[in-house]
Amino acid sequence: MGIRWSRRGELSRVPVGLCPARGSPPVPPQVPSVQDTVQEHLGRVRAGEAQALPERERAELKRRKLLLEVTLKSYWIRKGSAFSTAVARPETELTPEMIATGSWRQLPFKPYNFSSLGLPPACGHLHPLLKVRSELRQIFLEMGFTEMPTDNFVESSFWNLSHLPPINAFPPQEKFSPVKYFSIDRVFRNESLDATHLAEFHQVEGIVADRGLTLGHLMGILRQFFTKLGISQLRFKPAYNPYTEPSMEVFSYHEGLKKWVEVGNSGVFRPELLLPMGLPENVSVIAWGLSLERPTMIKYGINNIRELVGHRVNLQMVYDSPLCRLDV
């Protein structure tokens, strides 16, 4: 077999048996004939037998751009019962004129879609704090608590500092019976602002007075209370409060912040605080308090309390916040 250069400088083959050199004997063919399988496959494609080729062979022809598959779709069209050359817009309302003239009998009407949603009515929206507050109040009522009136934002230091429990909260000694009270209202404090603290917040308080109450009773009622809130991951940590002994801080794990955050404080009232109330000696008072904002942040996945209360609140968040359904 001889080899020569083409005009473009590329190698090309000379037919078998020929030799470009002068005076040289011809090279005899080594095979009787050359079988061009590509040409055969293309011939079968031309004859309409492309689907009979193996998938591998068709893929090779496509790769070499020798075969291009084209999908042809055909449709049969015929006139229907509602065929018209003019586009008629169906009516959506039945007017008095249509009834008076009787034209409604010949007019096409758009069918009603009873599954479609209507426009949302323009109405007010409850803040997430109000939704959680309503659920907390319902939980206290289900646990047998009575709500205390708390409408005095300005109070005498005698009640706030010198004598913390309100003197009329408990019945006199000769008529004592176990009681359970709760309150949910705004409180104020001197506090440095950060992602979880504000100088103004809502305080949720629960008080139980009965004979023989211990720290175990307090931990049990706290677990029952927070479980109804849907907060099951709890930790108790010893703490110091000037008006309770022993005292405990309550922590819950915040999925958004990925850490344990304080959700409440609790304790057993010191005996000297109960003396001015005239209660029997074997009566104990357990109490706990928590902010309304912390459970709301946990339930709604809010990481910064300033996005829940204050001038940075996004009103769209108030509109879009779902109903509060605590895991009771």
Lowest-pLDDT range of 163-172, 220-229, 240-249: 163-172
For residues 261 and 294, the answer to whether their CB atoms sit within 8 Å is yes
Lowest-pLDDT range of 168-177, 182-191, 209-218: 168-177
Distance CA 12, CA 209 (A): 107
- Tell me the per-residue pLDDT of 62-80, one tens digit each, with 9 for 90 and over: 888 888 888 888 989 888 8
- Tell me the per-residue pLDDT of 134-183, one tens digit each, with 9 for 90 and over: 888 999 999 999 998 876 667 777 766 665 544 445 555 557 889 999 99
pLDDT band at 198 (very low <50, low <70, confident <90, very high): low
pLDDT at residue 223 tops 70: yes
pLDDT at residue 11 tops 50: no
Task: For the chain, give the mean pLDDT.
Answer: 78
For residues 296 and 313, the answer to whether their CB atoms sit within 8 Å is no
- Tell me the per-residue pLDDT of 13-56, one tens digit each, with 9 for 90 and over: 444 445 555 666 777 777 777 788 888 888 888 888 888 888 88
- pTM over 0.75? The answer is no
Distance CA 253, CA 61 (A): 63
Distance CA 248, CA 199 (A): 22
User: E strands, 160-199, where?
Assistant: 179-188
Question: How many angstroms from the chain centroid is the CA of residue 259?
Answer: 20
